[in-house]
Chain A
Amino acid sequence: MMHSVPLLLQVADPQLPPSPGMFVLFGLIKAGVAFGIYMLCVAYTTLLERRVAGWIQDRIGPNRVGPQGLLQPIADGVKNFMKEEALPATANKALFVMAPAIAFVPAMITWAVIPFAAPLPIPGVGLISMAVADLPIGFLFILAISSLGVYGLTIAGWSSNNKYALLGGLRASAQMISYEIAMGMSTVCVLLLAGNVNLNEIVAQQQGQAWNVVLLTMAFFIFAVSALAETNRVPFDLPESESELVAGYHAEYSSMRYSMFPLAEYANIITSSGLMVTLFFGGWDIPFTQWDNAAPHSVVKTLVTLGAYFAKVFFFVFAFIWIRWTVPRFRYDQLMSLGWKLLLPMALLYITAVASLALALDFAGVVRTSMAYTGAFLAMNVVFVVLVFWVLDRGRIVSPAYSRIERERLAKMRLGAERSDLLTGKGA
């Protein structure tokens, strides 16, 4: 009796979706493997950062532990576990302990919906999608989860009961909120073109047309800047800004609790790079060929596209590191004005432009996959890029003297402080 054969043993066509049982089983396997590889990448990004920094700064970097320092992340991990954990007497203990985990987990969960290779056909099982969870709401999930990371930083800063940490935590929350909006707005353009929030569909759209970096250049710039700000890296490392706030929100942390924060930062770098690749650089797509995304799928195609995806992500991770060791840090008010006064209006304007152009082209009957369609968007982008990078010059975008408050206000502030001065006996 055929219908009594258990679901798991059903023989399936490898080019079709798997049965629900297999879907769950392979979902778990994918989660395990992806988690392992992801953690390995995070650990080795720390090494990469130190070696690249050494390269940029004309020095060697860690090369003692293992060949070329390859065991350095393990040594660091062991060292951090062995260190004493200091818990400030006045800290809010529960939140203080919880904060590192809150910072770390969202970066990792975000990764779950990003597709990293062409679907893998497994004989007898079916076509396995190469995203840990191919959620229909893909991108909305990312927006929802990635905002959670800031709670870790803010709670860490607040619960430490340290002024530097508090300032760091406050800066982190303000910064994240400001840039989250610009980031969300920049991705609206992507969703407009894809007509879908599923990341696999977004990749498919780019395979059909051109990569979104060509179609939506400005959105990519906005997204890249926001991603830098979201990961708290130079030039947006204000929450921890070593030279001002000592270590900012993690000033009171030590041992593994401390290293959870850098790990969260590196996890965020990888996730942001993965997102940039998926949204703007075609995901796992190999350019100038339709071989990789046309059926029938095969193991070779999966591996090659996986390699392409990793190469792209590696490039962006490298770019993150490169930027960090090249540029100075923004000031708080400059950061805010860049986010609210430049990136957000620009993103809104760009959404309008993209929507109008897409609508106009559809009315004119231009086929979406045609060269004319791509060319029209490219022309619009050239106009925008010229406008922003040549007409609005950098010196004016980041105005130098926002922080200088008026002398009268300062005098008034000091007067107020003077009046309530307890030492004069008038205040108490």
Chain B
Amino acid sequence: MATKRTVEVELSTTGIGPDGKPQRIPLVAGGDGGVALQAPPGIEPDLEGEHMLINIGPQHPATHGVLRLVLELDGETVVRCIPHIGYLHCGFEKIGEYRQYNQIIPWTDRDDYLNCVGNNIAFALGAEKLFGIEVTPRCTVLRVIGMELSRIISHLVWMGTTCIDIGAYTPFLWSFQERENVYNLFEGWVGARLTTSASRVGGMAADIPDGWLDGLKAFVRTFPKTLDECDRVVTKNGIWVGRTVGIGVMSPEEAINYGLSGPMLRASGVDYDVRKDFPYLDYETYDFEVPVGVHGDVYDRYLVRMEEMRQSVRILEQAIARLPDGPVNVDDPRVILPPKHKATSEMESMIHHFKNVMEGPRPAPGEAYVAVEAPKGEKGYYMVSDGSAKPVRWRIRPPSYVNLSAIPKMVEGHLLSDVIAINASIDIVMGEIDR
């Protein structure tokens, strides 16, 4: 009796056949409702054609990390898609319960590792809400600079990898060169390139060094040119348009129902940006536009992200112009370490230093949730304090995770090649999804 092989059957396991060679042993349903490992006698290709099961990832060049997609293919058409996650699970949220607030910041580097500075700042914003701290004007502007720079590098990685996924290799290297420039800036600022840990509760890890703004100005000047070059290579390219238009369409209603956020949501035509709708830092005082798509397909997502990079440059220009002088860190001995020379010469400073390092700053009991517009969508940090130096709960709302949940909806019915394009357009980071 002919049967179609389906996901569950093929998923089963591999075994050793009678001739000693590896062989796939499908799962079959036993009479008692359980499953057994044995090849059913009826398995043979039927005349309608056999569905092929293909496993993309967790080690595949186009899954952007360790995402695993199990695809059931009819020819090359995807009939079903089952995403598997968890290959990068590190338990960030649990570890956070055993760390002081400033010690959690390095973990935020690692959840969305393409948006480190943005995460650092978002977490610090949440902790400051718990502590009831208002940061200094200079710190606010520096944080805007940090967030927009990390938005740019995250989008650059997205652009480069998307181009590779759709077959154009060259823009990838162009975008990574610009990304290097931003990493050089980060290195000059906080000493680290990828895992920056740039923020602290009540301020930043460091003020920007002398001459740093000149480097930023040079970047702001040259970066749009690179963007224009990439634009010329792909945006109007017939093949690129053919590969992306009408692919992976999400209607505005579907996008909202799936809880999408960020460029994914905006490409579907929903005008929602946390920076505009629930402003944090002082984004309401900046003059920038939020690009909104119309069709909700891969091409619109591409256009939205490209425009967001240009708007980030606008914000950076304004931030450079308004950066005030003054201290970066708040004058609050509860959370900020005193200068080293005071810690070794003044009694109170030494006590503050000791308490801060050994016990850690203690917020009042309560809870705080802060959402920011991360490059991938609405990124939230939720923390609950019981008055101790460590949060009793720390949760992340990872935008990639929520956005990825729509992938079966988007890919089913498309071709195998489209799966790669759609997956790229979601812009996932597995560190954030698996946490």
Binding site for B on A (CB under 8 A): 53, 56-59, 89-90, 163-164, 167, 234-235, 237-238, 241-244, 246, 325-334, 394-395, 397-401, 403-405, 407, 410, 413-414, 416-417, 420-425, 427-428
Chain A CB within 8 A of B337 CB: no
Contacting residues, chain B, for A57 (C-beta < 8 A):
169-170, 173-174
The smallest C-beta distance from B244 to any residue of chain A, in angstroms, reads 8
Closest to A242 in B: B61
The reply to whether A58 and B417 contact each other, CB–CB distance below 8 Å, is no
The reply to whether B3 and A428 contact each other, CB–CB distance below 8 Å, is yes
A273 to B60, CA, bound (A): 34
**With A243-B167, A403-B77, A428-B28: A329-B239 Cβ-Cβ less than 8 Å:** yes
The smallest C-beta distance from A392 to any residue of chain B, in angstroms, reads 11
Closest to B31 in A: A425
Chain A CB within 8 A of B80 CB: yes
The reply to whether B166 and A328 contact each other, CB–CB distance below 8 Å, is yes
A164 to B60, CA, bound (A): 11
Contacting residues, chain B, for A410 (C-beta < 8 A):
79, 412-413
Encode B1-30 as 1/0 by CB contact (under 8 A) with A.
101101011000000000001100011110
Chain A CB within 8 A of B168 CB: yes
The reply to whether B170 and A398 contact each other, CB–CB distance below 8 Å, is no
Chain A CB within 8 A of B284 CB: no
A428 to B420, CA, bound (A): 34
Contacting residues, chain B, for A421 (C-beta < 8 A):
6, 8-9
What 5 A-B pairs have minimum CB-CB distances, sorted nearest first?
A329-B167, A394-B238, A401-B246, A400-B245, A398-B242
Chain A CB within 8 A of B418 CB: yes
Chain A CB within 8 A of B76 CB: yes
The reply to whether B3 and A403 contact each other, CB–CB distance below 8 Å, is no
The reply to whether A395 and B239 contact each other, CB–CB distance below 8 Å, is no
Closest to A393 in B: B238
Contacting residues, chain B, for A420 (C-beta < 8 A):
3-4, 6
Q: Name 9 A/B residue pairs within 8 A (Cβ), A-sorted.
A: A89-B22, A243-B167, A331-B415, A401-B245, A404-B247, A417-B79, A423-B35, A427-B42, A428-B29
Chain A CB within 8 A of B51 CB: yes
The reply to whether B3 and A422 contact each other, CB–CB distance below 8 Å, is yes
Chain A CB within 8 A of B74 CB: yes
Chain A CB within 8 A of B233 CB: yes
The reply to whether A243 and B6 contact each other, CB–CB distance below 8 Å, is no
- CB within 8 A of A58: which of B3, B76, B174? B174
Q: Supply 15 further A-B pairs (C-beta < 8 A) apart from A244-B416, A417-B80.
A: A89-B22, A163-B54, A237-B167, A243-B61, A243-B165, A244-B420, A332-B417, A398-B239, A400-B247, A420-B6, A423-B6, A425-B29, A425-B33, A427-B3, A428-B40
The reply to whether B76 and A332 contact each other, CB–CB distance below 8 Å, is yes
The reply to whether B48 and A163 contact each other, CB–CB distance below 8 Å, is no
The reply to whether B76 and A167 contact each other, CB–CB distance below 8 Å, is yes
- CB within 8 A of A327: which of B8, B173, B237, B416? B237
A163 to B6, CA, bound (A): 15
A153 to B166, CA, bound (A): 22
A407 to B409, CA, bound (A): 12
Encode B70-113 as 1/0 by CB contact (under 8 A) with A.
00101011011000000000000000000000000000000000
Encode B172-185 as 1/0 by CB contact (under 8 A) with A.
01100100000000
- CB within 8 A of B61: which of A90, A246, A334, A416? A246
Contacting residues, chain A, for B246 (C-beta < 8 A):
400-401, 404
- CB within 8 A of B29: which of A56, A334, A404, A422? A422
The smallest C-beta distance from A390 to any residue of chain B, in angstroms, reads 14
The smallest C-beta distance from A262 to any residue of chain B, in angstroms, reads 15
Closest to B33 in A: A425
Contacting residues, chain A, for B164 (C-beta < 8 A):
242-243
- CB within 8 A of A328: which of B77, B80, B239, B413? B239
A394 to B236, CA, bound (A): 10
The reply to whether A328 and B163 contact each other, CB–CB distance below 8 Å, is yes
The reply to whether A423 and B245 contact each other, CB–CB distance below 8 Å, is no
The reply to whether B177 and A414 contact each other, CB–CB distance below 8 Å, is no
**With A331-B418, A421-B8: A325-B239 Cβ-Cβ less than 8 Å:** no
